[in-house]
Amino acid sequence: MNLGVNVDHVATLRNARGTTYPEPVIAALCAEYAGCSSIVVHVREDHRHIKERDACLIKQAIKIPLNLEMSVNKTIVSFALALKPKQATLVPERRQELTTEGGLDLIKNGLKIEKVSRQLKTAGIAVSLFVDPVKNQIKLARSMGVSLIEINTGKYSESKNSSGFKRQLSKIKEAVNFAKSQGFSVACGHGLDYENIKPIVKIKGITEFNIGHSIVCRSVFVGFPLAVEEMLGLIEKVSRQ
């Protein structure tokens, strides 16, 4: 099972004071050293954390794949086509949101998403679509000729009580099974931490977890390599149970 480490919030910390540190590229190298499988960054239209130069530096520095989270905004698409990361994950974006709030709406925005997916694939970039755990959305992703999907665990992570948590967990299980039956390679991410990831790891068929905020937060206390090693150890241990 693969762990993609999202280093966006190292940039959040840097940008909070307008300093040149901490450098996201150093965090990316530490995460690679600790054994993660890919580095994830989200170049948002408002550049609130990762900037284009961060993504470029990271792409040059790491040996593992770079997964660029991105919207279908024209300027961002041009940047992605020039950067050529190994993978791009298309996500919805709203200026006012605190973080990505939900999956793509492939019913409403399907044409644009399909067009951008095609452009990226033609440039040799693997494309993943970030969708909510909803069958119709997954079906549509399949019809767009995409073979990678990331299921949004945001609602699950935000569950306030055990019944909500169970309901969201079962939606994710069903979505993973359905996506596997449709031939997708399935990733999961958003809001996963050192506690709530355990039931998710037990779901068979997920090949990758993309995690950022909780690892960056933990690194404040334990250091980045240890934060990543702990998450990898946890995933391996729980998956073998």
Query: Can 69 be counted among the known catalytic residues?
Result: yes
Query: Can 42 be counted among the known catalytic residues?
Result: yes
- Smallest gap, in angstroms, from Cβ of residue 214 to ligand PXP? 6
The active-site residue, picked from 9, 32, 42, 93, is 42
The active-site residue, picked from 23, 69, 114, 150, is 69
Q: Identify which of residues 85 and 189 has a Cβ nearer to ligand PXP in the complex.
A: 189
Q: Which two tokens stand for residue 129?
A: 């679509």
3-state SS record for the chain: CEEEEECHHHHHHHHHHCCCCCCHHHHHHHHHHCCCCEEEEECCCCCCCCCHHHHHHHHHHCCCCEEEEECCCHHHHHHHHHHCCCEEEECCCCCCCCCCCCCCCCCCCHHHHHHHHHHHHHCCCEEEEEECCCHHHHHHHHHCCCCEEEEECHHHHCCCCHHHHHHHHHHHHHHHHHHHHCCCEEEEECCCCCCCHHHHHCCCCEEEEEECHHHHHHHHHHCHHHHHHHHHHHHHHHHHC
Q: Which two tokens stand for residue 207?
A: 């090949």
CB 61 within 8 A of CB 28: yes
The active-site residue, picked from 32, 150, 190, 208, is 190
- Smallest gap, in angstroms, from Cβ of residue 128 to ligand PXP? 8
Q: Identify which of residues 106 and 240 has a Cβ nearer to ligand PXP in the complex.
A: 106
Q: Identify which of residues 7 and 25 has a Cβ nearer to ligand PXP in the complex.
A: 7
d(C-alpha 26, C-alpha 9), whole Å: 13
- Smallest gap, in angstroms, from Cβ of residue 33 to ligand PXP? 20
Query: Can 93 be counted among the known catalytic residues?
Result: no
| Identity of the residue numbered 3 | L
Q: Identify which of residues 193 and 229 has a Cβ nearer to ligand PXP in the complex.
A: 193
Q: Identify which of residues 127 and 211 has a Cβ nearer to ligand PXP in the complex.
A: 211
- Smallest gap, in angstroms, from Cβ of residue 69 to ligand PXP? 5
- Smallest gap, in angstroms, from Cβ of residue 239 to ligand PXP? 19
What is the binding site for ligand PXP (CB under 6 A)?
6, 8, 42, 69, 89, 91, 99-100, 130, 150, 189-192, 210-214
Catalytic residues: 42, 69, 190
